[in-house]
Amino acid sequence: MRPTVTVRPMAKGDLDAVCAIEQVVFSRPWARASFETEVSGDPRSLSWVADDRGAVVGYLVAWHVVDELHIGNLAVAPGTQGEGVGALLLARALADAADRGIEHAALEVRVGNERAIRLYERFGFEAVAIRKAYYEDNGENALVMFRPVHCTGAPGPAPGETP
């Protein structure tokens, strides 16, 4: 993990960088308007960026829905992947969820995205269902993953990451 990376709330001024990462990382990227909605002040929207000395290198968008933190989007810039940025963002989201009294966390991930699945498993997420043909671009299934927010134990670093 780069010691210069910090996590802070996403702001309107981050959207150019967030959208640039989104375009490179995803085959069906979110529209800028979707991210604009996330920073509009809705208290249910929980969005953060990973900032490396003023440069956005990753982001996470989630929603507080009743008693659940639903993670909708997590991405890390290609040049920073594998350095613990995703783990830092996920840890922040779960810590904030715990502070808000949220009970559960859930997400969908492509069944073929093994790197992301490993990250989520390290954080205590477990596969609970498959959503058939969830992704419109290629019909790939989504793995639905779930965990209580108040899991015991902290995740360790992934292979290649420093603690």
Q: Domains of the chain, with CATH numbers?
A: 5-148 (3.40.630.30)
Catalytic residues: 108, 120
State residue 159's pLDDT score.
42
Q: What are 127's two structure tokens? A: 């596969």
Residue whose token pair is 């249910």: 44
Query: How many residues are given for the chain?
Result: 163
> For 18, phi and psi rounded to 5 degrees?
-60, -45
How far is Cα 113 from Cα 49, in angstroms, rounded to an integer?
21
Q: What is the mean pLDDT of each run of 10 residues along the chain (163 residues)?
A: 87 98 94 96 95 96 96 96 94 95 96 94 96 88 94 49 38
State residue 120's pLDDT score.
96
The pTM (predicted TM-score) of the whole model is 0.89
State residue 163's pLDDT score.
33
State residue 46's pLDDT score.
96
State residue 161's pLDDT score.
43
State residue 136's pLDDT score.
82
